[in-house]
Amino acid sequence: MDVHPSQTPDSSDPIVITGIGMIASVGDDRESVWEAVRGGVSGVRLVGPEDGMPECLRIAAPVFHEPEEPGRLKVISLALHAAAEALDDARVYHSGIDFDRFCCAMSAHMCEIGTGWFGAKPHDPDEGWVDWRSQCLPNSGCSIVANRFGLYGPRICHSSACASGMVDILSAVRAIRDGQCDIALAGSSEAIDPLFAAGFSKMRVLAEHEDPAQAARPFDSGRNGFVMGEGAAMFVLETLSHARRRDANVYAEVIGARMVADAYHVTGIDAESPTLAYLLKATLKQARLTPCDIGYINAHGTGTQSNDIAETRGIRSAMGSAADSTLVSSTKSMLGHLVNAAGSVELAVTALALRDGFAPPTVNLTNPDPDCNLDCIPLVGRSGQFEHAVKVSIAFGGTMAAIALRRWPEAQSSFGQLRREAA
């Protein structure tokens, strides 16, 4: 069946998610990660140089993943893994898609300079190694993913710190709306970089705890920082009409997507967080929703003292009295802070939460901070048929992004199907 591209997109045609691929410290595919997050399983552990981690890092949430070819940067290998799953999930190679109009939007990456890539001679191609020159640019990952899967539409690559994945997803949605493409692969990946690890260590923002699994504790009175993590998530996005023509399954609809700048401080946000409040209000306005419509917010929730309080205040300011009945959680408590990949992995979790009607928990939240006075779902997740959810990302440099999703009525829950079959 051929899918004919529309050069003049209908602005009323919904943008929907038809494929999700994901890998993180708790699982190597979408459903295994989601099952672990549902169950409050932490991927945080003690690490050291023997695990390929920087010497300054004692606690992290790494992904143990063998690259598909020697010499491939881990951050790119993780992106390829998630992209392959997303494209297979969306069945894009079985429905006559025009790959000349297939966008690839993927966040920029570091070049792992701590491992000696710069100044090294190119590896011998005859030995199967990848030439470092093909991977050292910030947009190399985006290019390699697009080339691998034959995506010849626009290539979009942003570096916006912890909001990078969200910004590229927003950009992919805009590219579809502008008629530059019919369909897009969008997301981000992250492998722990020695330079970032050293910087965060010097800033004293990395969490410490005698039990590594309890180190990440967003919104808890005993929180003392975040845990670095690894992973990737990629999405297939397209208009509903395009998805229907090729009989694709739909997870959720993207009904609101906004980005703003907080001109306050390079690594912090205003304690009252007026910019975050504005972002949430603008996202809800674009989505034509009221605060009472939102059932779940996946917070940025780093676990630092200042961020969690400021984020709470921003959410309360935007949501008003509806904040008392809105479920909020931070999955960084289990997956760690994935930096560039944080937004995309957490958006994937948000979409699956909508699909299954289950809000994941904030683990380690044993003593909630009175200043973080939201329902942050301590320890155990909750079932509920909420129809709308929001993902928020807050980044160094002042970038903030939010995406509002609507649950698709016909979304198929693989997790639910597995549970029914087991019963």
388 is catalytic: no
**Cα–Cα distance measured from residue 91 to residue 95, given in angstroms and rounded to the nearest whole number:** 7
| 209 is known as an active-site residue | no
Annotated catalytic residue, options 81, 158, 209, 300? 300
Q: How far apart (Å, rounded) are the C-alpha atoms in residues 198 and 63? A: 19
Do residues 330 and 342 lie in contact, with contact meaning Cβ atoms separated by under 8 Å? no
Would residue 40 be called left, alpha or beta, if left means φ above 0 and alpha means ψ between -120 and 50 degrees?
Answer: left
The Cα–Cα gap between 272 and 316 comes to 10
Q: Strand runs (DSSP E) across 8-71, as ranges?
A: 15-24, 45-46, 59-61
DSSP per residue, 147-203: HHHT--S-EE----GGGHHHHHHHHHHHHHHTTS-SEEEEEEEE---HHHHHHHHHH
Q: Do you know the residue count of the chain?
A: 423
346 vs 20: CA distance, rounded Å = 12
State the residue for tokens 């397209």: 238
Please report, in angstroms and rounded to a whole number, the separation of the first and last CA atoms in the chain.
38
How far apart (Å, rounded) are the C-alpha atoms in residues 112 and 104? Answer: 23
Question: Of the residues 142, 162, 181, 372, which is catalytic?
Answer: 162
Tokens of 234: 């990629």
Give start and end residues of each alpha helix (H) in 238-327: 240-245, 274-287, 305-319
Residue 192 near residue 54, CB atoms below 8 Å: yes
Judge whether 337 counts as a catalytic residue.
yes
Distances (CA, A) of 238 to 172, 186, 332, 372: 9, 11, 28, 37
Answer yes or no: are the C-beta atoms of 345 and 233 closer than 8 Å: yes
Point out the catalytic residue in the list 109, 242, 337, 388.
Answer: 337
User: Are 264 and 304 in contact, with CB atoms under 8 Å apart?
Assistant: no
* Residue 13 backbone phi and psi in degrees, to 5: -80, 115
Q: Any idea which residues carry the catalytic annotation? A: 162, 300, 337
